[in-house]
Structure 1
Amino acid sequence: MTERSKEDQKDIRNMSQNTADEAAALKLFVVLSKAYKNVMDRAVKDMKKHNLSPSEFTILEVLYNKGRFPLQQIGEKILITSGSVTYNIDKLEKRELLRRVPSPSDRRVIYAEITDQGRELFDRIFPEHAAEVQQIMSGLNAEETLTASELLKKLGKGMERE
């Protein structure tokens, strides 16, 4: 066999591997997209049964679990735009579920803080929601859930490097 035909065979193997890698990546993309849609559809349905939009629910969840939080950072935390944050904060404030609190040390910073009424609501609905999320994820056992979390984290962090 000539040196050139050895290189051609190596190129063909590399092309086959690239094609297999591409096919695997496309399959993962489709499976991940479908899984995300199914999981989110059920989670959103649960949020809405408490008369909260997904954005309202997640804002309250951040405040419930983290305490007072800068308005400017809420969008980054729950992946919504600053305009959506303002709109949803306004709605939640009208319902007296949260309040805006100026920072005592920096006039540019405004915090959102859950009210007693908001905390009472979340004390009641969050355990139900957590149980629903656990039910949604019940297709995986505890070990598989942790593995999936680590793999998805790795996938997300891989995108940050590009």
Structure 2
Amino acid sequence: MAEKCPDAADLELLDQWNTLQAGFRRVTDQLLADVQAKAGLTPSEFQVLWFLLTSPEQTAPMNQLAATLNFTTAGTTKVADRLTEAELLHRQPSAADRRVVLASLTDQGRRVAMDAALTLAGALRERVVSRVGAETFASTAHCVRELDPNPERLCRP
């Protein structure tokens, strides 16, 4: 089989993709650094608190939390341990199935999660929306949502 090199159109497409994913990663890192500086939460801690804040009754099974956030079971447990020690999260067996452990926000966890979410919203407005405009930002979010191969995993309040 003969090897085929990418043509100019392929190279342009690949360059555009690289620009998108690398730029998104750098902006995400900046935004989460803002949250960490102001709210004192690591990116994974913020992800857990945000997921629970937007979950029904602000509670979710630990295995659902791990699957939704693409964390390993051990990684989820480690983050949950830190959040529990900080009194932001409470874990308990499910009444329906004692094999299932539920993670819930404490009152303090709810307050910290909301403060962190407001910090992220402010950082998004400052770092992203102010530069590209609200319409472009909304349109880009819509386009990316359309590309998601597993949209049911998206957490919606």
Q: Same fold (TM over 0.5)?
A: yes
Q: CA deviation at 1:131?
A: 1.2
Distance 1:28 1:34 in 2: 10
Q: CA deviation at 1:45?
A: 0.9
- Equivalence for 1:4: none
Paired residues for 1:142-153 under 5 Å: 142-153=134-145
Higher helix proportion (structure 1 or 2): 1
Q: Please, which of 16, 25, 35 is the counterpart of residue 28 of structure 1?
A: 16
Q: CA RMSD in A?
A: 2.3
Larger Rg: 1
Partners of 2:60 and 2:103 within 8 A in 1: yes
Q: Give per-residue Cα distances to partners, 1:115-145, cap 9 Å, x unaligned.
A: 0111222333332221112222222222212
Q: CA deviation at 1:20?
A: 4.0
Task: Give the number of the structure with larger relative contact order, counting CA–CA contacts within 8 Å between residues 6 or more apart.
Answer: 2
Distance 2:138 2:149 in 1: 16
Distance 1:37 1:20 in 2: 26
- Equivalence for 1:111: 102
Q: Please, which of 32, 44, 66 is the counterpart of residue 44 of structure 1?
A: 32
- TM-score of the superposed pair, with normalisation by structure 2: 0.79
Distance 1:21 1:154 in 2: 23
Partner amino acid for 1:55? S
- SS, match of residue 125 in structure 2: helix
Q: Please, which of 145, 149, 153 is the counterpart of residue 157 of structure 1?
A: 149
Percent identity of equivalent pairs: 27
Q: CA deviation at 1:30?
A: 1.5
Partner amino acid for 1:19? D
Partner amino acid for 1:62? F
1:131 aligns to 2:119 (yes or no): no
- TM-score of the superposed pair, with normalisation by structure 1: 0.77
1:65 aligns to 2:49 (yes or no): no
- Equivalence for 1:54: 43
Q: Please, which of 99, 106, 109 is the counterpart of residue 90 of structure 2?
A: 99
Aligned residues: 143
- SS, match of residue 54 in structure 2: helix
Partner amino acid for 1:153? R
Distance 1:154 1:20 in 2: 27
Partners of 2:35 and 2:116 within 8 A in 1: no
Q: CA deviation at 1:55?
A: 0.4
Distance 1:20 1:155 in 2: 24
